[in-house]
Structure 1
């Protein structure tokens, strides 16, 4: 899709000059505000849907929640490639607006649902719209922001996507108090949360409607018919581009393989805290907060020095640094040293995310962005789900292996190290991240050799 920015009034070239911050583009500012509003509401809706699943799940609330969460994951695996073609074929501005309106409508019907299958169907529709909205948004960012400011723009997008979660969690708790003040119950809290979520999507749609994006050239040529064979060719074209582009290949390999390792920290962090650190109930929360602070520092520092960096080499170094820091963190049995390693890992991980998206924005041709970003989202989700699923099994497997080989402890003189299975699994996780950095480096190195 080629939703180019509309011609700007006089003086716009100076607005896009290197001396201006990313907010010098009012179009991106509106898109970023729309993303913040949408993400804030999405997190509230996420918490509300979990509460509804628990409520209508009856004697099996855990199974109901698992089914609903599965419905939020599966569409991205099976329909992302097709969604990428849609994003590249239709008017992206209208697609973004339509997805926001669809999500608002679905959310308003959820309070009427009384069966788990209905909530699963609603979750499927929400995820289908989200699977189209994300790649479409990413595809138009380079048309609203000068190339020199793409790193800063992606830093802000990361903040909008994940920095709104604590605000949304606080708002969800506040809605419970608001419902009590009105004389309602927990049901009232959920209904207010879903109504607020729907409102945020409508506000986001209104903001996106003001973006000055031109239609795709296919729209101007009135090529409105959908040809199945052409769609298959476009799908093949997108994957072929991923295979031959060193930057795109490096980003997908680096983020995907690295996510297998980094994602294991989610299910195994709590186990590591209990078994190795013994830091109590607040320990795992402290690990997550420390990781988030590290990401924030990394994103901020990267935005400040972006113009002096070689993005490709820094991306590889950041993936490698994430693996080394995780290795250090899980090798230590001291809480302070572990938190220091997790904090440093967050700095590198935030840089990996921002630089990865920036490299795609800078190197992917405009008409292919939808398919490439859809492939990225699919790969990241698959690798994250894989890491969360197998992490526990790896921990149990290593626990058995270390018990057989070392009796779960290595002793050298007066020095001893406990070897629970969770430590072995996280060592493997860090090795995945190191392998990801090597694969990304090889992907970028091959064209350098050919050109020399």
Structure 2
């Protein structure tokens, strides 16, 4: 079961700390959106896109370094330190009066966030062991995806109650709680020296390269990753331009903005439940295509609607966002050998954030230059890209692969069935030796191989 890993008290506390930290992140970004609108008005889209671009830039640049450091020193110290420093940084945000101060604090905040996330991910197998590691990773990834879209709705409602600037103090409290949870863990979270040495002597770059290679050579995973770019274009429009549309165009307040973002989170929750209930009935790639279409089409009329219809559209968009993200995470677990999943998940973390690094500036530019049609243009761009991805990267077939099985069986070689043997095994007499069954492939969907006909 997915929650079996929570029986491990060390992982349960780590998981509680991660969940608290993710709620803090949601408070950060909703508070930042409201603060940007307070300081920049209709130009808030530029401020938000710049801050969010700095966020993903820190992730992409520093996460590999964080993973290398996590193999050398006590990971508990890294996790606690990053939480305490982030607590101090967000405590400064209520006193911001200039846009450049937002940029400086957000970049500093996400430098330490970039060190926390991969260190936490690397710590999961360290504390759970082989049996519970898959369930722990799945639970952690599902929580990350769910709170990534549900959190803004919660945070928006909180901001409406206590105020835009005051929300950062509550944000700081979440980081303090997470730091205490990790600090009270017994002992150290340090890898054995042999494991550390094997991971740092010239292997770091090779592992990074191998993880990226696996992402782009596996057809269904490559297709899902490309669809995440489509979803990120729509998602960036929602995160960057919703506050300007609700408070600028519709002339509504913080509470109404919270309602809209809550609808987005409710949609994500519905899709998470639906995916868990029917995930075995449809191919992962079918979910991904459905999700990309939903989140992109939801934006199409959004520039011309009032609050009630906008909430409905954002609910649909939230469903689509999770229908893309959750199956993509599961595809990696389905199709990548367990001994290579870590580097592939790491590569996926970097590449999927690169998509947002492209999407945030695009959303800021559209919101600044086409403030009355930003959602329409964002939707059209996403739809064009969706069609291109579907026509060029849709996988030829979607397969489940089983691990190879070794066993021994007795057989006799005739003149047509020969291979090398150890000395002393005569031809034509019964004997046994280990025999490997190669992975079995079960095709569920069939597509025309466009590359075959174009050569």
Normalised by the length of structure 1, the TM-score is 0.64
Larger Rg: 2
Structure 2: runs of 5+ lacking an equivalent? 402-439, 444-455
Separation in 2, partners of 1:429, 1:26: 44
Could you list the per-position Cα deviations for residues 243-286 of structure 1 after superposition, in whole angstroms to 9, with x for gaps in the alignment?
323344233222133312332234455677799xx855267655
| Gap change, CA 1:22 and 1:432, over 3 Å in 2 | farther
| Gap change, CA 1:22 and 1:353, over 3 Å in 2 | farther
Within 5 Å, which residues of 2 pair with 1:392-431? Answer: 393-394=365-366, 422-431=375-384
Give the structure 2 partner of residue 107 of structure 1: 87
Separation in 2, partners of 1:374, 1:303: 24
Higher relative contact order structure (alpha carbons within 8 Å, sequence separation ≥ 6): 1
CA shift for structure 1 position 21: 6.3
CA shift for structure 1 position 424: 3.7
Within 5 Å, which residues of 2 pair with 1:226-265? Answer: 226-227=200-201, 229-265=202-238
CA shift for structure 1 position 128: 2.6
1:377 aligns with one of 327, 340, 349: 349
Give the structure 2 partner of residue 409 of structure 1: none
Alignment check: 8 A CA contact 1:323 1:345 kept: yes
Within 5 Å, which residues of 2 pair with 1:328-407? Answer: 329-330=301-302, 339-365=311-337, 368-391=340-363, 393-394=365-366
Q: Does 2:142 match 1:155?
A: yes
Separation in 1, partners of 2:39, 2:376: 38
Q: Does 2:421 match 1:441?
A: no
Alignment check: 8 A CA contact 2:20 2:177 kept: yes
CA shift for structure 1 position 52: 10
Give the structure 1 partner of residue 177 of structure 2: 200
CA shift for structure 1 position 380: 3.1
Separation in 2, partners of 1:442, 1:124: 38
Give the structure 1 partner of residue 435 of structure 2: none
Give the structure 2 partner of residue 130 of structure 1: 113
Q: Does 2:258 match 1:281?
A: no
Alignment check: 8 A CA contact 1:312 1:359 kept: yes
| Gap change, CA 1:29 and 1:355, over 3 Å in 2 | farther
Q: Which moved more, 1:45-54 or 1:312-321?
A: 45-54
Give the structure 1 partner of residue 268 of structure 2: 295
Could you list the per-position Cα deviations for residues 54-88 of structure 1 after superposition, in whole angstroms to 9, with x for gaps in the alignment?
9999xxx999999876654432233344445556x
| Gap change, CA 1:123 and 1:367, over 3 Å in 2 | farther
CA shift for structure 1 position 356: 1.9
**Greater fraction of residues in helix:** 1
What is the root-mean-square deviation of aligned Cα atoms in Å? 5.3
Structure 1: runs of 5+ lacking an equivalent? 1-17, 178-185, 400-418
Alignment check: 8 A CA contact 2:26 2:148 kept: no
Could you list the per-position Cα deviations for residues 209-246 of structure 1 after superposition, in whole angstroms to 9, with x for gaps in the alignment?
35998946xx336627944x443333322322323233
Give the structure 2 partner of residue 77 of structure 1: 60
Separation in 2, partners of 1:395, 1:191: 25
Give the structure 2 partner of residue 8 of structure 1: none
Give the structure 2 partner of residue 4 of structure 1: none
CA shift for structure 1 position 347: 1.7
- How many residues are matched? 393
